[in-house]
Chain A
Amino acid sequence: MTVLHTVNKSPFEKDSLDTCIAHALDGSTVLLIEDGVYAATRGTVVEPRVRDAMQRMNFYVLANDCKARGLGEDTLIDGIGRVDYGGFVDLVTGHDSVQSWL
């Protein structure tokens, strides 16, 4: 069973991402949305944790929320996928269930 995890909080504000990573099984997908997209930026204290999690999970950001925060593609950690709302829908339907970490 594949699970899509969504995280909508900044890792500098809440520990939703850490909680998500601690619970998510290998092969899961993590979609960063809203303030959660800050976790995808390069050069932060969070980056090593995200890179580590990327060894066993797929990471995506909602591109619309990156754009809204001035985070260009060049600011993101390599290997993180970018989706729009349609891509968000595809991720939801492409996994067996969705878990939102708020």
Chain B
Amino acid sequence: MKIGLLVNEGPYQHQAADTAFQFAQAAIEKGHEVFRVFFYHDGVNNGTRLATPPQDDRHIQRRWTALAEAHGVDLVVCVAAAQRRGICDPDEAKRNGKDADNIAPGFRISGLGQLVEAAIECDRLVTFGD
């Protein structure tokens, strides 16, 4: 089946970012396609490449990047939610006059249309949040 995920909670906040990742991994292991993970609200903080958690802790952001690289999962960050929280890619940084970008590899910034498309395209859409 084609499965879409919506993540509304930031990393290390409560548990949604972890549950969503474990779910995505289990779905892929079972042969399903994780079509897209859409990060919304504080969930956009999953997409920064500047996080440095303690070495003995899981690296939530890097784990998503690895999932995208290994299985071609489309990781999409909501542009409006990202702008509010200081998550930007090179284009957004330039457009908004910022001196740096911080999007993690495998993530891309786009709009809510991507969430709507995932809801239409996927057989199931599962929401994880706080």
A interface with B by C-beta (< 8 Å): 6, 8, 33-35, 62, 64-65, 84-86, 88-90, 92-93, 97-98, 100, 102
With a CB–CB cut-off of 8 A, which chain A residues contact B130? 102
CB-based nearest A residue for B124: A92
Query: Which positions in B face A, CB cutoff 8 Å?
Result: 1, 3, 8, 14-16, 19, 22-23, 25-27, 29-30, 32, 123-130
SS class of chain B's interface: helix, strand, loop or mixed?
mixed
A97: contacting residue among B3, B27, B124, CB under 8 A: B124
**C-alpha spacing A100/B19, complex, angstroms:** 13
Asked if A64 contacts B22 (CB within 8 A), the reply is yes
Whether the Cβ atoms of B129 and A88 lie closer than 8 Å is no
Chain A residues with CB under 8 A of B129: 100, 102
Known: A34-B19, A100-B128. A93 touches B26 (CB 8 A): no
Cβ–Cβ < 8 Å partners of A86 in chain B: 26, 29-30
List of A residues within 8 angstroms of B16 by Cβ: 8, 34
Judge whether A93 and B32 touch: CB under 8 Å. yes
Bound Cα distance A6, B124 (Å) = 14
- A85 to B15, Cβ gap below 8 A? no
Cβ contacts under 8 Å, A88 to chain B: 23, 26
